[in-house]
């Protein structure tokens, strides 16, 4: 977990300090939070208070600083975008603090080119190697984007997310899938992107032709 002591005095007139947690701290926390970095993060948190959509994409984060949760304490977030940072592990505290990531997918046009702006939770373009079991707690989440990471297997925790509608696992290192289990677990799935993974040809055939494939599913494997 990131240290909580951050140079926020210039924004709030006091320092923000909380005891360290048991999770491993990231030594480079203060580097990215210096100068313009802290300004950018704080401004985006303030915007999220109004919109309910937290966008911390492209902030060079190595972890999600505890100051983010402090600033947004008492505010419900409906989407969270951590795209294009430097995360090497999944920020578990996001799951604990943002329990209402249910999104508003009724307004989504299911065209992949605009999907990046619409996911409920995105950690696209980082270096995450595994998805923690705590993700299963997002029971009502509708959209997830784990594209461009370092996943090697289909995340086990996802199987509990029966309301999932959009799932992007493209450009990872996944070679094999339990196709039957995937289609049985996600009856509401409308878009599944697995392009850019070294999937076996037999798996691709199963994905395309399986009898349990949702009728409205847009499958992207190439």
pLDDT at 101: 78
Q: State the total domains in the chain.
A: 1
**Residue 3 counted as domain residue:** no
Whose tokens are 């060079």? That residue is: 60
Each residue's pLDDT tens digit, 13-68: 333 333 344 444 444 444 444 555 788 999 999 999 999 999 999 999 999 999 99
Each residue's pLDDT tens digit, 161-198: 999 999 999 999 999 999 999 999 999 999 999 999 99
Instruction: Write down the mean pLDDT value for the chain.
Output: 82
- How far apart CA 87 and CA 82 sit, in angstroms, is 9
103 pLDDT exceeds 80?
A: no
pLDDT at 27: 44
**Residue 155 counted as domain residue:** yes
| 221 or 14, higher pLDDT | 221
Average pLDDT over residues 108-121: 47
**Residue 105 counted as domain residue:** yes
148 pLDDT exceeds 80?
A: yes
Structure tokens at 216: 């409205």
Phi-psi region of 161 (alpha: psi -120 to 50; beta: other; left: phi over 0): beta
**Residue 1 counted as domain residue:** no
What is the band of 102 on the pLDDT scale with cuts at 50, 70, 90?
A: low
Residue 160's Cβ-count burial label (10 Å; 0-12, 13-18, 19+) is: middle
221 pLDDT exceeds 50?
A: yes
**Residue 2 counted as domain residue:** no
What is the band of 120 on the pLDDT scale with cuts at 50, 70, 90?
A: confident
CATH number, domain with residue 173:
3.80.10.10
**Residue 117 counted as domain residue:** yes
pLDDT at 39: 87
What is the band of 145 on the pLDDT scale with cuts at 50, 70, 90?
A: very high
> Where in the sequence is the domain holding 163, given as residue range(s)?
9-220
Closest CA to 142 of 165, 121, 168: 165
């Amino acid at each position: 977990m990131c240290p909580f002591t951050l140079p926020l005095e210039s924004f709030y007139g006091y320092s923000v300090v909380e005891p360290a947690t048991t999770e491993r701290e990231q030594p480079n926390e203060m580097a990215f939070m210096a100068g313009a970095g802290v300004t950018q993060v704080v401004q985006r948190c303030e915007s999220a208070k109004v919109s309910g959509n937290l966008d911390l994409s492209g902030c060079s984060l190595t972890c999600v600083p505890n100051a983010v949760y402090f600033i947004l304490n008492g505010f419900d977030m409906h989407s969270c975008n951590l795209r294009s940072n430097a995360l090497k592990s999944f920020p578990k505290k996001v799951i604990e603090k943002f329990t209402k990531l249910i999104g508003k997918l009724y307004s989504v046009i299911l065209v992949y080119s605009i999907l990046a702006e619409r996911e409920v939770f995105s950690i696209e373009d980082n270096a995450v190697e595994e998805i923690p079991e705590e993700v299963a707690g997002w029971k009502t989440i509708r959209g997830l984007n784990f594209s461009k990471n370092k996943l090697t297997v289909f995340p086990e925790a996802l199987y509990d997310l029966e309301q999932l509608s959009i799932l992007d696992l493209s450009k990872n290192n996944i070679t094999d899938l339990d196709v039957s289990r995937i289609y049985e677990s996600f009856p509401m799935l409308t878009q599944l992107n697995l392009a850019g993974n070294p999937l076996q040809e037999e798996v691709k055939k199963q994905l395309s032709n399986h009898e349990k494939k949702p009728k409205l599913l847009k499958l992207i494997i190439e």
